[in-house]
Every structure is written in structure tokens, then in C-alpha cells.
Amino acid sequence: MVLTALAVGLLAAGVAVAAEPDAYAGTNAAARGVADPTRAWRNYALNCQGCHRSDGAGDPDSAPALAGHIAVFTRMEGGRAYLGRVPGVATSPLADDELAELLNWVLWRFDPEHMSAGFPPYGADEIGRLRRSPLRTEAATTRAALLARSDARP
């Protein structure tokens, strides 16, 4: 009985896991700097969702929402650099190419409606450069200053 319930539970979890990368299907992933959406999604699950949640909803106690919000930073001066230097991104253990891919994936996966038209995808070199000067204690004030700007509004 218990084993059956466990198997059903695992099956349900397996279905959910298998379905997630499909949420990205139908988009031009490669042109958006996401060579492998499944890898990007796994990297998100392993490195980011503990704080930002699997659906990007965030958590008032740990991290801001990415869903429906994150891409406003692609529309403002300084926003592009901020996303590469924010601590959770810059200090992740991922290599530059996978981190660039993950950040591109996060933008398109969680907030396609706010993406700036023609936003060039992050590349490994750019992310490598940005993460060498990660934001530290000033992350919150940098974030607040960016969001206070008029072009932060969708």
C-alpha cells in the first residue's frame, strides 16, 4: 500500500519534472541564448529555486519574484549589468557559459512580456566580466535605486 502510494507519488513527480522544459517549447530558445533549455531548467532547480521558488514566484522572506517582473531590468539603463552582478547570480557555482544560459532562460521563462525588444542574450564573456565584481551589501540599495526610476515601470 505504502509502496504503491510512493510509486504513484514518484510517477506524479516524474510527470511534473518531464513537463517543465516543455513550458519553454515553441520559443526560439537558441536565438535567445538558451542552447539547452532542459539544462537551464535543471540548473535553476539546483541553484536558484530554493529562494526564488520553482515557479519564480519568490518568497517575501528570501527572494523577490522573478515571474512577471524580472525582465523590467532589460528595459532600463544599468539593468543589464545589475542582473549579472546580483549576488545569487554572480556567486553561483555555475561556469560562465551555463550561467549566461540560465539567466537568458530565467528572463524568457518567467517574464517574456516585459522583455525589451531586441535584447541581446547574455554571453559567457559578458557574464564572466560582470560576475567578477559582484554586488555585496549594496545589492538591495542598487536594486531599489533602479526600481525607483521611471523606466522601471512596465
CB 66 within 8 A of CB 103: no
Which residue number is nearest to ligand HEC in terms of Cβ? 88
Q: Which of 9/91 has CB closer to ligand HEC?
A: 91
Binding site for ligand HEC (CB under 6 A): 47-48, 50-52, 62-64, 70, 83, 86-89, 92, 102-103, 106, 139-140, 143
Task: Give CA torsion, residues 102, 106, 112, 113, to 10 deg.
Answer: -140
Instruction: Tell me the closest approach of the beta carbon of residue 34 to ligand HEC, in angstroms.
Output: 13
Instruction: Tell me the closest approach of the beta carbon of residue 105 to ligand HEC, in angstroms.
Output: 9
Angstrom distance (rounded) from CA 20 to CA 15:
9
Instruction: Tell me the closest approach of the beta carbon of residue 18 to ligand HEC, in angstroms.
Output: 22
**80 contact partners, CB below 8 Å, separation of at least 6:** 73, 74
